[in-house]
Amino acid sequence: MARFYKLSVGRSLFGDIAVVREWGRIGTIGRARIDLFANENEALVALEAIERAKTRRGYREMGGSVRDGCGR
């Protein structure tokens, strides 16, 4: 079964630092989870820990950007 897992760091609407996780089967919308942190360093530490755990489970990093095929 082909799956995806996407991680990103950004600001929430209220100015908090957020780690956003998106995952699911390729070809579906999937699910999302947002974890809020007090500062960017904490968020980056959490992101790296999640990244290591997913790499151990067999996920691979995709190089470059991925387009959705809609011509954008």
Q: Which long-range contacts (CB under 8 A, 24 or more apart) does 17-25 make?
A: 17/42, 17/43, 18/43, 19/43, 19/46, 19/47, 19/50, 21/50, 25/1
For the chain, the domain total comes to 1
Any domain includes 71: no
* 8-61 residue pLDDT tens: 999 999 999 999 999 999 999 999 999 999 999 999 999 999 999 999 998 888
Q: Can you tell me the distance from the alpha carbon of 34 to that of 12, in angstroms, rounded to the nearest whole number?
A: 9
Any domain includes 65: no
Q: Which domain holds residue 7?
A: 3-56
Any domain includes 47: yes
pTM for the structure as a whole: 0.76
28, 4 contact by CB (below 8 A) = no
Any domain includes 62: no
